[in-house]
A and B are shown apart, each in its own frame.
Chain A
Amino acid sequence: MCLAVPAQVLEIEGAIGRVSLSGVTREISMMLLPEAKVGDFVLVHAGFAMQLVSEKEAEETDALLAEMNGAPRTVGDLSGTVSAMEAAGAR
């Protein structure tokens, strides 16, 4: 429940921000992160911007979310790597 997802701020009007969230545009509240500016990347939780993040962090989290939603990525490789290490006796 506590997962926050990254989004880029497209517009701010008063306490309402428009963000691009995994490719979807939606309105969120900027009440808890008044310092955010247009163009910033933010972590969004329950419709609120909670924290500023770097673009790099946003991209990494996006990829992680894609992976959690079922896109096969990196994790299979990680366990594969461990199995390979075990096979090579690298314990």
Chain B
Amino acid sequence: MTRPEERELASRLVAEIRRMAAEYGRPLRFMEVCGTHTVSIFRAGIRPMLPESVALVSGPGCPVCVTPDDYMDKAIAYAGRDDVILTTFGDMLKVPGSSSSLAEAKAAGADIRIVYSPMDSIAVAQANPEKKVVFLAVGFETTAPTAAATVLAAKQAGLTNLYMLSAHKLVPPALRALLTDPDVQVDGFLLPGHVSVVTGTEVFSFVAEEYQVPGVVTGFSAIQILRAIYRLLQMKCAGEARIVNEYESVVTAEGSPVALRTLGEVYESADAAWRGIGVIPKSGLRMREAYASYDIERAVPIDVPEGIPAAKKGCRCGEVLRGIIEPPSCPLFGKACVPTHAVGPCMVSVEGVCAAWHKYGQGRFSYGG
């Protein structure tokens, strides 16, 4: 699409969104559940284009942000062992545990290495046969198959010193938890594009069928996001609830069969704790018994004393993650909690809701404006 064409299409979409919002007549709240969408919406200045009656709220779409304190405490405890090398994606370093972070552990001498891919852990394990190499396996359905594939590759290579500390999260059970939470009101979902590459769209059908809430799978450009909002409004006005795929170039109904098979070979679903939400049934992944020797928690159990998160008093990440409040309603936002000195995880990750609000002027930001 050329720039004039994009401009023309965006204008038409915004005009239609406004017309339909006026026709609908009541306020609407649409939620995105993907950190990349959160950032794209700010960057593209989508909010200022929308009529006042259409609110965009952010859900628990940042895997780093929903990782609970006790997981970080465990990671820090493993990192503190002399026989352990921790490998992790970079954005986990600054996430606060109950009283410390991996960045602090690293400064104190722990061997923590930032990797681009879980697969990089294999070379680290091969080069350090006397050490236990532990990869911090976090992420949604997009990332989880890459950890599973790494375990299969380690098995094939005969490696016995590579482990996962798993805290993967699954998006559909989180949507169900939000839909049954009386404090959360959502009239439609912008569904995550790249999670859906793996899961397909079919897994989201319960959102429409059981809860009569529409959803649109979409990509990350301004046009794609506007199209998704347009589709949601169209369905609201027609009184319909369906799951629509607006990202057909890469997303299918059934998802990626190889990724799903790989994931299912190594992992099975299990109850998991989400920061701010609590335990959601079957919303996480646990390594199957056949792969228990790659699960650091079972291979080398560690006791972590329950921390006292005194420093986080007042932090309202939990409500931010469920879209109940916007970041400025938190007493710490922009004061005690800023990106350079984050109290809560929503301010730590670049894809965190608070970090995005802070960076882009509390939602009033309009790019180039």
Give A residues with C-beta under 8 Å from B: 1-4, 15, 28-29, 31-34, 43, 45-48, 50-51, 53-54, 57, 60-61, 64, 67-68, 72, 74-83, 85, 90-91
Minimum Cβ distance to chain B for residue A35 (Å): 8
Question: Number of B interface residues, CB 8 Å?
Answer: 60
The residue in chain A whose Cβ has the minimal distance to the Cβ of B143 is A46
Contact B63 A1 (CB under 8 A): yes
The residue in chain B whose Cβ has the minimal distance to the Cβ of A44 is B117
Known: A45-B146, A51-B250. 8 other contacts (CB 8 A): A1-B64, A29-B119, A32-B256, A43-B194, A47-B118, A61-B220, A76-B368, A79-B48
Q: 1/0 per residue B127-142: CB within 8 Å of A?
A: 0000000000011101
Which residues in A have their C-beta under 8 angstroms from that of B220? 3, 61, 64, 68
Does B206 count as interface, using CB distance less than 8 angstroms?
Answer: no
Contact A75 B44 (CB under 8 A): yes
Contact B62 A1 (CB under 8 A): yes
Which residues in B have their C-beta under 8 angstroms from that of A15? 153
Q: 1/0 per residue B5-20: CB within 8 Å of A?
A: 0110011001100100
Please provide the chain B residues from 231 to 258 with a CB less than 8 Å away from any CB of chain A in the complex: 249-250, 256, 258
A53–B366 Cα distance when bound, in Å, is: 31
Minimum Cβ distance to chain A for residue B277 (Å): 18
A-B CB contact pairs (8 Å), 13 listed:
A2-B143, A29-B117, A29-B153, A32-B145, A46-B139, A46-B142, A61-B219, A61-B220, A75-B44, A77-B3, A78-B7, A78-B45, A85-B15
A2–B66 Cα distance when bound, in Å, is: 14
Contact A77 B256 (CB under 8 A): no
A80–B91 Cα distance when bound, in Å, is: 34
Which residues in A have their C-beta under 8 angstroms from that of B43? 67-68, 75
Which residues in A have their C-beta under 8 angstroms from that of B164? none
Contact A50 B197 (CB under 8 A): yes
Contact B149 A4 (CB under 8 A): no
Please provide the chain B residues from 1 to 50 with a CB less than 8 Å away from any CB of chain A in the complex: 1, 3, 6-7, 10-11, 14-15, 18, 34-36, 39-40, 43-45, 48-49
Give B residues with C-beta under 8 Å from A: 1, 3, 6-7, 10-11, 14-15, 18, 34-36, 39-40, 43-45, 48-49, 62-64, 89, 91, 116-120, 138-140, 142-143, 145-146, 149, 152-153, 192, 194-195, 197-198, 219-222, 249-250, 256, 258-259, 262, 349, 351, 366-369
A45–B147 Cα distance when bound, in Å, is: 11
Minimum Cβ distance to chain B for residue A41 (Å): 11
The listed residue (A3, A28, A33, A46) touching B36 by CB distance below 8 A is A3
The listed residue (B49, B143, B349) touching A79 by CB distance below 8 A is B49
Which residues in A have their C-beta under 8 angstroms from that of B34? 2
Contact A78 B146 (CB under 8 A): no
Which residues in A have their C-beta under 8 angstroms from that of B258? 31-34
**A33, A46, A68, most chain B CB atoms within 10 A:** A46
Contact B10 A78 (CB under 8 A): yes
